[in-house]
Amino acid sequence: MQMRTLGGNLQVSAIGLGCMGLSYGYGPATDRGEAIKLIRAAVERGVTFFDTAEAYGPGLNEEVVGEALEPFKGQVVIATKFGFKDGRPASGLDSRPERVRQVADEALSRLRVETIDLYYQHRVDPAVPIEDVAGTVGDLITEGKVKHFSLSEAGADTIRRAHAVQPVTALQSEYSLWWREPEKEVIPTLEELGIGFVPFAPLGKGFLTGKLDTNISFAKDDFRSTVPRFQPEALKANQTLVDLVTSIAADKGATPAQIALAWLLAQKPFIVPIPGTTKLHRLEENLGGATVELTAADLARIADALSGFKPQGERYAASHQRFVNR
């Protein structure tokens, strides 16, 4: 597995593993033993970067990740997050300094580590100045409880303000062929400041794999059931993007998922996507994206097609919009 660097000095595998879906968001939690086997299979295949959060459970995902990776201490990088009341997104935001500290202490226990490698503010809290948040995490770094400070779904101004207080190692936000908003202001800001970028949902929450039927019906406990972009009319309107990726994949002897990941890796050397899965064959497929080389002609073909493409449907339900891009 190729390696990349976040924030100047944090080396991780070029593709990480987003662990959320093992216990949260996409239906019933994966059997704990099976989830642990999948995470360890990722390590065996060269993955060194694993993403979790207090809110994925709450707490359950961190416990699974902690148990799975305990034998690999010092060999892997674990990222986790704070920022929601009681670890539940439905309860609202909470980045008060005392809460930031409490979540760190609880995460250390659940992850079975002495230091959190990468500690994200899960969503920007408008009730707490970002300078206070950055300062609190800076104190945790001084105390040895955290190694690196990071943000998620933050806007360019917030990133600059936080970075001025405590250097930001990485930003995690949605970015894919299906959602390119970060290209406007966020990615140039990250490049200027030397901050890494960790795209979540790099496969469009499954859409870019080409495996979703346009008439698919999601279970009630699958969050995509409430997302406008996954309603039948939007899926049909966005199918042209899947058709493009599928065509390029056929030409390259790859899969659509691998093309989507290879495209992300080709954008900037500081980009490290974290696709998630619950299946070993999908894990292996995703990791294969790091070996697909897109030529200048391939990238130009994609860019030309994207220039005339506008995604249909909001990426979140209205109730969730307040949490993003602050």
Higher pLDDT, 129 or 316: 129
CATH of the domain at 24: 3.20.20.100
List the Cα angle 290/305/186 in 5-degree steps.
Answer: 65
Tens of pLDDT, residue by residue over 163-182, are 999 999 999 999 999 889 99
Q: How confident is the model at residue 320 (pLDDT cuts 50, 70, 90)?
A: low
pLDDT for residue 241 is more than 90: no
Q: What is the pLDDT of residue 193?
A: 98
Q: What is the mean pLDDT of residues 251-277?
A: 96
**φ, ψ (nearest 5 deg) of residue 279:** -120, 135
Q: What is the pLDDT of residue 43?
A: 98
Domain total for the chain? 1
HEC readout, the chain: CCEEEECCCEEEECCCEECHHHCCCECCCCCHHHHHHHHHHHHHCCCCEEECCCCCCCCHHHHHHHHHHHHHCCCCEEEEEECEHHHCHHHCECCCHHHHHHHHHHHHHHHCCCCEEEEEECCCCCCCCHHHHHHHHHHHHHCCCEEEEEEECCCHHHHHHHHHHCCEEEEEEECECCECHHHCCHHHHHHHHCCEEEEECCCHHHHHHCCCCCCCCCCCCEHHHHCHHHCHHHHHHHHHHHHHHHHHHHHHCCCHHHHHHHHHHHHCCCECCCCCCCCHHHHHHHHHHHHCCCCHHHHHHHHHHHHCCCCCCCCCCHHHHHHCCC
Q: What is the mean pLDDT of residues 298-303?
A: 93
Tens of pLDDT, residue by residue over 98-136, are 999 999 999 999 999 999 999 999 999 999 999 999 999
Amino acid at 213: D
Q: How confident is the model at residue 227 (pLDDT cuts 50, 70, 90)?
A: confident
Q: What is the pLDDT of residue 319?
A: 54
Tens of pLDDT, residue by residue over 172-225, are 999 999 889 999 999 999 999 999 999 999 998 778 887 776 667 666 676 676
Tens of pLDDT, residue by residue over 14-64, are 999 999 999 987 778 899 999 999 999 999 999 999 999 999 988 899 999
Q: How confident is the model at residue 318 (pLDDT cuts 50, 70, 90)?
A: low
Q: Which domain holds residue 135?
A: 3-323
Q: What is the pLDDT of residue 326?
A: 56
How far is Cα 27 from Cα 303, in angstroms, rounded to an integer? 34
Q: How confident is the model at residue 313 (pLDDT cuts 50, 70, 90)?
A: low
Q: What is the pLDDT of residue 79?
A: 98
Q: What is the mean pLDDT of residues 136-148?
A: 98
Q: What is the pLDDT of residue 236?
A: 78
pLDDT for residue 287 is more than 50: yes
Q: Residue 177 in contact with residue 306, Cβ under 8 Å?
A: yes
Please name which of 64, 92, 86 lies closest in space to residue 276, comparing C-alpha atoms: 64
**φ, ψ (nearest 5 deg) of residue 200:** -95, 165
Higher pLDDT, 238 or 125: 125
HEC readout, 222-255: EHHHHCHHHCHHHHHHHHHHHHHHHHHHHHHCCC
Residues annotated as part of the active site? 56
Q: What is the pLDDT of residue 298?
A: 93
Q: What is the pLDDT of residue 205?
A: 79
End-to-end, the C-alpha distance of the chain in Å comes to: 34
How far is Cα 270 from Cα 281, in angstroms, rounded to an integer? 27
Q: What is the pLDDT of residue 321?
A: 46
